[in-house]
Amino acid sequence: MNRLVTVSRVVLGLVFVVFGLDGVLHFMPLPPMPEAARGVIRVLQSYGLFYVVKALEVTAGLLLLSGRQLALALAVLVPITFNIVWFDAALDPASLPVGVVLLALEGLLVWSRRALLTPLLHASA
């Protein structure tokens, strides 16, 4: 189980670092996307939100690769990953399997670190 968690952490970290950097530096060719998906990306870019998300992806990916602050990295990446899956399901179903794999890897990491993450779910007085 420890090897699986380590492999998941490294793969997920690499994916978010590489694709986060690619969102800004454009060093990989983009696959064709439906017009609606391109429109959403353009709107996010016009407000600067796209670059904020990419910066968060790179930062959290580096945290995953370093093995430090895993709870913080996962807390940042969970909403991003859910949005990736939602975006793919709604606007670009051809890329949905990638989002599902990311969600599975992240689910494994969240489950393995659930003791660190449960305090986030407790209400404080």
pLDDT along the chain (125 residues), means of 10: 93 97 91 90 93 96 95 94 95 92 95 87 76
Owning domain of residue 24: 2-114
Largest interatomic CA distance in the chain: 50
Query: 37 with 88: CB under 8 angstroms?
Result: no
Q: Which alpha helices (H) appear in 26-69, and where do they start and end?
A: 35-46, 49-66
Q: What pLDDT score does 88 carry? A: 92
Residue 122 belongs to a domain: no
Instruction: Please answer whether residues 44 and 90 qualify as being in contact, where contact means their C-beta atoms are separated by less than 8 angstroms.
Output: no
In terms of Cβ atoms closer than 10 Å to its own Cβ (0-12, 13-18, 19+), residue 105 is buried
Residue 119 belongs to a domain:
no
Do the domain assignments include residue 124? no
- Does residue 123 sit within a domain? no
Question: By the 8 A CB rule, do 106 and 74 touch?
Answer: yes
Q: Quick one: pLDDT at residue 20?
A: 96
pLDDT of residue 125: 66
Count structural domains, the chain: 1
Distance between CA 78 and CA 14 in Å, rounded? Answer: 16
- Is pTM beyond 0.95? Reply is no
Compute the CA torsion angle 37, 29, 79, 72 (nearest 10 deg): -160
